[in-house]
Every structure is written in structure tokens, then in C-alpha cells.
Amino acid sequence: MPTQHRAIQSRQTLIRSAAQAFIEKGVPASGMVDISRRARLSKGALYFHFASKDDLTLAVRDEALDAVRDLEDELARAPHPAPTAVRDFAIGLLGRVDTDVVVRAGLQLRPETAPGIARPDLQQRWYELFLEKATADRAAGKLPPGDDPRRSAQLLAALVVGLLHLGQEDRTWWDKDVVTDIWAQLLPDAVASAPAGETVR
């Protein structure tokens, strides 16, 4: 295996091992020795990639946010109206959080347990993204008369953030069928025309 590829693989293994430790024990109780053992790499290899636990914690957070941004970009390009596009965004996001320990750990990091970590204001960012989508829908005549893009964006942001929060205690909230059913009950007319997950890569 080429040295560069091996180094990239080692770095990813360390990030994943750190994320698993953070989920199981919390950031303060997760030591660098434990993380290197989980990764089956030496302490030297760990410190080659990350000078401190703070650096490693930031790497977990950054990788999680990169994954979220990819999903946000897909939402921005989605051809469906906002309610359907956001439903598919929620399915993709919650599915990723459920199956990817790095994304799950990265989104749970808080300044009080991981000093130096700024809490990303995902709720506000998603609201603005959903508002932009709903406003474009209105301009294109895709919103029913009288529908307010701001109210639509508020509802959609509350749904996504609420499901993300609820799933931290009970991961069945992140199941695709659960998300699809909630959307069908709350926004039946808006999502009836597109099968769930159609815009998710």
C-alpha cells in the first residue's frame, strides 16, 4: 500500500475511533491512549496526525459538518418543491447520523464538553436554506396560493431539528419509514407526488 494512502487510511481510522470513544464515554473521559488502541495504531502514529485531543476533536466535528454540507448541497439542487426536497434531506441526514459514528459524534459535540468547539447553528442554517427553497417555489408557482414561505421553512426546520434531537434517545425516529410517515401526515398534498428518498443520492 502506498505510504500516502496508508497515512490517509490511518487518519480516518483515528477519527472514527475517536468518534466511537466520544459516543461511548464522552469527550472528557476519552484519552488519547484509548483512542490509539481502538484504532490499533501506536501513540506515535496518533500524534503524527493530531498534536492534541483538541485537534482530533475538531477533525471529528469538521468531518461531520462536511457530510452535512454535502447533503445541504443536494437539497439546494433538488428539483422537487421544498416540502418534498426537505423530506428527502431529512431521510439522508438522519440515515447518515444513524449509520455513521463520525457524523453522529460530530453533531453531538458541545463547547461545555469539548473546549474550543463552537456549536454550529444548524437550525438557523437549515431554516435559511429551506426558506430560500420555499421562496423559489413561490416564484415558480409551486406553492399553493396563500402559503407563506417563512411559515413553511419554520415548520420544516422544526421537523428536521426535532427528529434529530428525538433520535438521540431513540434511534427509531431516524428510520426512513418513520420520517416518510410523519411527512405524509403533516404535509400530505405537498409530498404525494414524489416517492420518499427520490432526491437522496
Nearest residue to 174 via CA among 191, 185, 157, 162: 162
CA 173/CA 147 separation, integer angstroms: 28
- Average pLDDT rounded to a whole number, residues 167-171: 94
- What percent of the chain is predicted at pLDDT more than 90? 74
Give this prediction's pTM. 0.87
pLDDT band at 143 (very low <50, low <70, confident <90, very high): confident
Exposed (0-12), middle (13-18) or buried (19+): which is 116, by Cβ within 10 Å?
exposed
Q: How many CA atoms lie within 13 A of 76 on its CB side?
A: 12
